[in-house]
Structure 1
Amino acid sequence: MILSRLFIVIVVSAALSLSSPTRLLSEPVHNKPLSDSGELRVQDMLMNVLTPHINAAVQDYYRQFLLEPPLVYPYFVHITGSERLNGFRGFRLSITLDVTPVVGPHISVGEDRLTFEISAGPEVKLVHYTHLKSYPLPPHWQYIVKKPAR
């Protein structure tokens, strides 16, 4: 009797520990804000302004590899650095972003790092593009692959 109860406790404990929600290793890590703030609103406004430039750069890069152009949504952008290029209160700035382009129902095709120079106007100029990582597409999306990305 005691052994059968012990066995049931072990089986239930194992089942619960295996079914508990855990983050997959393949799942990208994104900082998800828990509440709104002035800083978050300014960052989101910046993403609204930069998104067309980000998508143009990403689509230009992936044009050689994919038949369908990927998109980058603002919530797949991580600001990794920024600086003023012409001193305190200068309005020529640099921003570096890590982005995750997707196709279809948010299928990640890779990771890329973009650096833009932003100045009054506003003028936005891509100054550096680095492809960091490629992800294989699932079998039912292979038809859009022209050639594998490097």
Structure 2
Amino acid sequence: MKKIVLIISLLTVITSFEIPCSAYELTIKQPPKIEQSHLAENSKEIIYRDMLISLLVPYMQKEINNYYKEYLTELPIIFPYSVDIVNVERQGGSGYLIRLEVIAHPFVGSINTVGDDRMIIETGAFGSVQIKKFEHIKSYPLPWNWQHIIKKPY
């Protein structure tokens, strides 16, 4: 009986001591919030940008096909959401000659981006569209299940 009382007393004494514990707080700074008007999906600026890119995609797709047909058996595609506008400027100060610089991210399958391609596009008053410059900037490796479409490294 004395042993049981001694063991219980000893356990009570041991568990009654506080064990020091350190905790650290991780603070992550969030980037400042962008004005909500810039993020509104139905703002006129976003709609105009989407409309412009949608109208230019066929011209850009033709240039992408011309470049990648030498390297891939299946041609990559672009959608308006896979094109970034880098710069837009009016040529000559006034008029309807507009020069647009874009970077397209063509892909095969659902999400396999094959590269980054820069294009300089000029549009005119009567609907003229010309790709003035096409430059392949970067290539991305394809996953193992898409290796069969590679003709030669690009």
Q: TM-score range by the shorter chain?
A: 0.7 to 0.9
Residue 86 of structure 1 deviates from its aligned partner by: 2.6
Q: Distance in 2 between matches of 1:34 and 1:146?
A: 43
Within 5 Å, give how 1:125-140 maps onto structure 2: 125-140=130-145
Residue 60 of structure 1 deviates from its aligned partner by: 0.9
Unaligned ranges ≥5, structure 2: 1-14, 26-37
Instruction: Using the aligned pairs only, state the percent identity.
Output: 34
Q: Distance in 2 between matches of 1:40 and 1:82?
A: 14
Q: Distance in 2 between matches of 1:136 and 1:57?
A: 21
Residue 92 of structure 1 deviates from its aligned partner by: 1.0
Q: Which amino acid aligns with 2:111?
A: H
Q: Distance in 2 between matches of 1:105 and 1:134?
A: 17
Q: TM-score, normalised by structure 1?
A: 0.76
Residue equivalent to 2:55: 49
Q: TM-score, normalised by structure 2?
A: 0.74
Within 5 Å, give how 1:54-133 maps onto structure 2: 54-88=60-94, 90-133=95-138
Q: Distance in 2 between matches of 1:137 and 1:63?
A: 16
Q: How many residues align?
A: 128
- Provide runs of 4+ in structure 1 moved above 4 Å: none
Give 1 or 2 for the bigger CA radius of gyration.
2
